[in-house]
Structure 1
Amino acid sequence: MKNQSKYISIALLILASSISGCKKDFLNQAPESSLTDANFWKTESDLKQGVNGAYSSLRGLGTFSFWLFGEMRSDNTTFQYNAPQRGQENREQVDQFLANSANTLLQDFWRDTYTSIFRCNDVLDKVNNIPMSAASKAQSIGEVKFLRAYHYFNLVRQFGGVPLRLEVTKAPADAPSKGRATVENVYTQIIADLTEAGNSLPDASAYPAADKGRVSKGSTNALLGEVYMTLKRFSEALIALRKVTGYTLMPTYSSIFLTTNKNNSESVFEIQYYATAGTNLSSNFMYQFAPFNSGTVVTQDPGTNLSFTSGWNTPTTDLISSYEAGDLRKDVSLAEGFTGTAGFVAVPYIKKYNQGFVQPGQTNVNFPIIRYADVMLMIAECLNEQGFTAGGEAFNLLNAIRTRAGLPSKTSGNPVATLNVNSQAAFRDAIYQERKVELAFENHRWFDLVRTGKAVEVMNAHGQREIAKAPAQYPSGAYVLTQNKILLPIPQREVILDNLNQNPQ
């Protein structure tokens, strides 16, 4: 009976969540949840609201789970130890590779991701019953298939094989999954969804102003390229990435993240946030990432007090030391501390998303998922994997990123040892280094470490350096990463209620 109640709740959640979104501008309207399946899904406008509801679920994941599991598990960030407030150990455990299947944050991540998938499935279930043009129908299908693929890509990289839920849950009997699909089958579905989406979505430039920020052909091919790279299918990745056209680097690194430059020429896909009164559409990154003891110095918001929800995703010493002298990205991305009433306090924090507030506690800063700089570096990596060419296109792409950062080019045979890249292995290292600093705090680092096979080596060495700073703060077993622990444990609630096999830890 407990299982059946759980699945009834899921079915009701799907029904309610499928109709959130907006009627006019999908970027800045509050979700609507008072409608039901019986009186909704009648018109093209209804369908668009359903599609917008699928987008809206990204906001909650973006403000917490994505950076917790995508950046804090890496050597880029950690947390500010809060001795007076010892109530957030579940977050600390994720950073330290101590999270077990009972950790509530794992359950939140799993639940919120599948809620997002359910919204996509709801649209796909209803789209063919609504009178609309073939082009509009194809676009709607393409948008939600991209989103579904993106969510499954996150799940398979974090948990391995997961249940493939591709149909709407209409009755309690439909709620139990068929168990965990294989990793191969999950990737097959991701590729199928992205391939179809790429064939039906327009270019970003084709969207009117009110729809700016929706997924496009470019964002679909960029994600498909990353999927193929994760599978080490570099030739196919390169084909997909070459199709990402119509984008350019912003002239300066700092201009990318300004709220006045949302969805700019470098933006391939980003999560949309708006600090609109009376809605729940805002972001809050700068508050979570500010040191908890910084008062209003970092946020400049006198109306918001910082507490145990601040001091997270803190830049590590390893990352700070990774920046070359003169790298313009460092000051844009982070600060090594703040100046309070007692002087300078050496607690680093992320500056990249610190773009001011609109209302107390609310910002309208978007979060980048894919930037064109990322695409350029992926193309360069694919080219190098096909064969090292001194001075070839891969070098041009790498050095275009470095030039914007104010750094000298890396070349083969360069007399400066740190700039000399004279082999395929050396170019790999150059790309990995550039991705680490160029894409810092954009949730790429952990996935890069895993797909390149460097996670265990890098994170264990990093962990020892972290522990050495204050050994008494760390519990036994902290920062010991094994191959088994690369995958997160399946939330225990799901193991029990859906009869899933657990990941070995």
Structure 2
Amino acid sequence: MKRILYSILISGLVMTSSCKKFLDTSPTDFLSPKNFYRNEADINAALNGVYDVLGKSSTYGRNLYFELDVADDSFIALSSWTQDAGLYNYNPSDLKITDTWTAMYNGINRANMLLENISKASMDPAKKRAAEGEALFLRAYYYFILANNWGNVPLKLTATASASEVNFPNTPYKTVYQQIVADMEKAADMVFPIANYTYGSRVTQSVVWGILARVNLKMAGAPLRDASRYAEVKKWAEKVRAAGHSLNPDYKQVFINMCQNKYDTKEVIWEVEFGKKNGTQDEEGSVGSINGIAANANIGYSYGAKHTTEKYYNSFDDNDLRRDWNIGPYSYDTNGGRVAYTNIQIYNRCDAKWRREYETTLPKFNGTTSINFPLLRYSDVLLMLAEAENEMNGPTQTAIDAVNEVKRRAHGKTLNTLELVKSVTITNGGTTTYTSAPTVTFSGGGGTGAVATAFLSAGKVTAIYLTNPGSGYTSAPTITFSGGAGSGAAAIAVLTKIASSNFDLTQAETTTKEDFRAAIRKERSLELGYEGLRRFDLIRWGQFYSTMKNLANEITTTAPASYTYAAKSAQNVSEKDTLFAIPALELSLNKVILQNKGW
């Protein structure tokens, strides 16, 4: 830990701004605790430094949802890569592993410094109490990330006083988790309700309750397998539910909002903010740049380096609106136009949850973005509630209703019983003179809200991509095309009673606890894909190794020859990969820490 400790001591309290809603500036002088922590401004500056860790490229700027969350829903589409943490082919000197470990302990030390000195500050007592609770929670959250990924990690609850403090033994996994729960439960009574804020980057009661549900769900699974924790999961999830949270009726809008610096704290309870200050990139966010749909600068540069697996694509039913949002249904041409994929091009398709075409903050940089990343959504809380309830009591109505709430949103199910537009059938592609995609307009039919995009090939309209099915139609609306320098295109709308069709759980999915368990696990994959939670889920269910080996076999036997490299990560996985290697640098300096098994 010497590298960590030296960097802490050298940096002192010089901390950059990431939680921009409550602090727009940060101290520029090297200050000691004796001369700091005097007032509210000092406390906010120190607290901002604790939050700052969330926005680093080593955490949610990139690593924790890209290289460190490769599972069965995606693969790193960089065929030239042969060695990397994301390929499960690396050694303990890997920089991404080292940097994430270091970032977590930097955050912990900053929290410890604040907790030890906050009593000195003269400020409003309620605000002081909330700041202390936020620091306490964040310290626990950073330990949660460490324990999830590295197991028995050193537990240090005091600030570093000297660079000679380097020898810290592994703390038993159960002890670390007991501390995490104790800190979070204490923080829950200290921080403010989410209603106090109009943005989602602050730690609030809803955040603490929701993450406590996640922590306890992990404790109920591998490796602790403490089934008594399911009652705690239910308790904390129900507190979130009672706080008035709800799902955004439009799944894709949840992620468009993140691209546009808009907040919906009813659904997105906690998110990492990325932004710009004085025309430059303020944080190292790569959301939509390393992942997203591959694009050039006309859209906003994206590597599109995380692609879907055919297994994940096929796990969605054809009426699930999440499929074509999570998984890109099109690519971009050199001018930024959309080019629809055919059904056989599944391995080409990118993780498309965050798309730079919706990013509104300018200028758009090539390597980084201003797009936020979600740490906790209400749909996750509903699914955690259902999982815990099922494990305790089987498929009760409470658990079934929670899953159905998520499934209904996913299928565009509304409260009315009228029809939606299911698809659009082209009856005439028009002349061959279209130079750009014409605008598609829906009118009549008694409903509203249907939206679609036209695609061209050789100057004709050849495909229609339905982006919103609308609602309330009593008859098929009329479709007209305008613009694009062409004419003659025609199409008809095909309706379906999605609003009244039964997309709820079937009887076969809820007959037994085992049936319902499988349904819940599938729903988590469909709903939360690419949000840094899939590997976490598979490991706590004890399914990571077997799932990855089955995926390797599927890809090598069914994928196109050009994409057989997509099996690399799954082929390389071994039993030891449920934990990452403790960094070699840590081992070289900390003489009492032990490496994880198999490394």
TM-score w.r.t. the length of structure 1 is 0.87
Separation in 1, partners of 2:565, 2:403: 40
Separation in 2, partners of 1:356, 1:220: 29
Which of 398, 406, 410 does residue 401 from structure 1 map onto?
Answer: 406
Separation in 2, partners of 1:81, 1:24: 34
Show the counterpart of 1:365: 371
1:3-82 paired onto structure 2 within 5 Å? 6=3, 9-13=6-10, 15-17=12-14, 19-21=15-17, 25-26=21-22, 29=24, 31-37=26-32, 39-60=35-56, 61-72=59-70, 74-82=71-79
Show the counterpart of 1:213: 201
Which of 314, 328, 331 does residue 321 from structure 1 map onto?
Answer: 314
Separation in 1, partners of 2:8, 2:204: 30
Q: Do residues 274 (structure 1) and 264 (structure 2) align?
A: no
Greater shift after overlay, 324-333 or 313-322? 313-322
Whether the 8 Å contact between 1:165 and 1:177 is mirrored in structure 2 is no
Show the counterpart of 1:203: 193
Q: For structure 1, which runs of at least 5 residues remain unmatched after alignment?
A: none
Q: Do residues 130 (structure 1) and 121 (structure 2) align?
A: yes
SS of the equivalent of 1:365 reads coil
SS of the equivalent of 2:189 reads helix
CA 1:498–1:337 in 2, change beyond 3 Å: closer, same or farther? farther
CA 1:424–1:329 in 2, change beyond 3 Å: closer, same or farther? same
CA 1:264–1:218 in 2, change beyond 3 Å: closer, same or farther? closer
CA 1:479–1:330 in 2, change beyond 3 Å: closer, same or farther? same
CA 1:428–1:10 in 2, change beyond 3 Å: closer, same or farther? same
Which of 462, 465, 469 does residue 551 from structure 2 map onto?
Answer: 462
Whether the 8 Å contact between 1:213 and 1:263 is mirrored in structure 2 is no
The residue type equivalent to 1:435 in the other structure is R
Q: For structure 2, which runs of at least 5 residues remain unmatched after alignment?
A: 221-228, 414-501
Greater shift after overlay, 313-322 or 276-285? 276-285
Q: After TM superposition, give the deviation of residue 386 of structure 1 in Å.
A: 1.1
Whether the 8 Å contact between 2:292 and 2:353 is mirrored in structure 1 is no
CA 1:448–1:33 in 2, change beyond 3 Å: closer, same or farther? farther
Q: Note the alpha carbon deviations across 1:65-111, whole angstroms, 9 max, x for none.
A: 21135422x1122111344xxxx544xx3233222212121111111
Show the counterpart of 1:443: 532
Whether the 8 Å contact between 1:22 and 1:32 is mirrored in structure 2 is no
Which of 327, 340, 352 does residue 334 from structure 1 map onto?
Answer: 327
Q: After TM superposition, give the deviation of residue 52 of structure 1 in Å.
A: 1.3
TM-score w.r.t. the length of structure 2 is 0.74
Which of 64, 70, 85 does residue 94 from structure 1 map onto?
Answer: 85
Whether the 8 Å contact between 1:337 and 1:348 is mirrored in structure 2 is yes
Q: After TM superposition, give the deviation of residue 147 of structure 1 in Å.
A: 1.0
1:186-265 paired onto structure 2 within 5 Å? 186-207=176-197, 209=198, 213-232=201-220, 233-244=229-240, 245-257=243-255, 258=257, 259=260, 261-265=262-266
Whether the 8 Å contact between 1:44 and 1:132 is mirrored in structure 2 is yes
Cα-Cα RMSD: 2.7
Q: After TM superposition, give the deviation of residue 351 of structure 1 in Å.
A: 2.1
Separation in 2, partners of 1:476, 1:287: 22
CA 1:248–1:351 in 2, change beyond 3 Å: closer, same or farther? same
Q: After TM superposition, give the deviation of residue 332 of structure 1 in Å.
A: 2.0
CA 1:192–1:77 in 2, change beyond 3 Å: closer, same or farther? same
Separation in 2, partners of 1:477, 1:442: 18
The residue type equivalent to 2:316 in the other structure is Y
Greater strand content: 2
Q: After TM superposition, give the deviation of residue 467 of structure 1 in Å.
A: 3.9
Rg larger in structure: 2
Greater shift after overlay, 276-285 or 398-407? 276-285
Q: After TM superposition, give the deviation of residue 9 of structure 1 in Å.
A: 2.1
The residue type equivalent to 1:380 in the other structure is A
Separation in 2, partners of 1:268, 1:130: 29
The residue type equivalent to 1:486 in the other structure is T
CA 1:123–1:439 in 2, change beyond 3 Å: closer, same or farther? same
Q: After TM superposition, give the deviation of residue 263 of structure 1 in Å.
A: 4.2
Q: Do residues 489 (structure 1) and 486 (structure 2) align?
A: no
SS of the equivalent of 2:306 reads strand
Separation in 1, partners of 2:334, 2:18: 45
Q: Note the alpha carbon deviations across 1:117-165, whole angstroms, 9 max, x for none.
A: 1221121121011122332221111101111111111110111010112
Q: After TM superposition, give the deviation of residue 260 of structure 1 in Å.
A: 5.1
Show the counterpart of 1:110: 101
The residue type equivalent to 1:271 in the other structure is V
Greater helix content: 1
Q: Note the alpha carbon deviations across 1:396-438, whole angstroms, 9 max, x for none.
A: 111111111117334453xxx6xx4311111011111111010
Q: After TM superposition, give the deviation of residue 462 of structure 1 in Å.
A: 1.1
Separation in 2, partners of 1:490, 1:503: 7
Greater shift after overlay, 477-486 or 316-325? 477-486
Whether the 8 Å contact between 1:380 and 1:394 is mirrored in structure 2 is yes
Whether the 8 Å contact between 2:308 and 2:350 is mirrored in structure 1 is yes
CA 1:329–1:162 in 2, change beyond 3 Å: closer, same or farther? same
Q: After TM superposition, give the deviation of residue 375 of structure 1 in Å.
A: 0.3
Q: After TM superposition, give the deviation of residue 280 of structure 1 in Å.
A: 1.6
Q: After TM superposition, give the deviation of residue 186 of structure 1 in Å.
A: 0.7
Whether the 8 Å contact between 1:273 and 1:365 is mirrored in structure 2 is yes
Q: Note the alpha carbon deviations across 1:324-378, whole angstroms, 9 max, x for none.
A: 1111112222214514369767421122211325212153321110101100110
Q: After TM superposition, give the deviation of residue 183 of structure 1 in Å.
A: 0.2
Whether the 8 Å contact between 2:274 and 2:282 is mirrored in structure 1 is no
Q: After TM superposition, give the deviation of residue 39 of structure 1 in Å.
A: 4.1
The residue type equivalent to 2:205 in the other structure is K
The count of residues paired between Structure 1 and Structure 2 equals 475
Whether the 8 Å contact between 2:200 and 2:265 is mirrored in structure 1 is no
Whether the 8 Å contact between 1:459 and 1:479 is mirrored in structure 2 is yes
Whether the 8 Å contact between 1:138 and 1:200 is mirrored in structure 2 is yes
Separation in 2, partners of 1:371, 1:158: 21
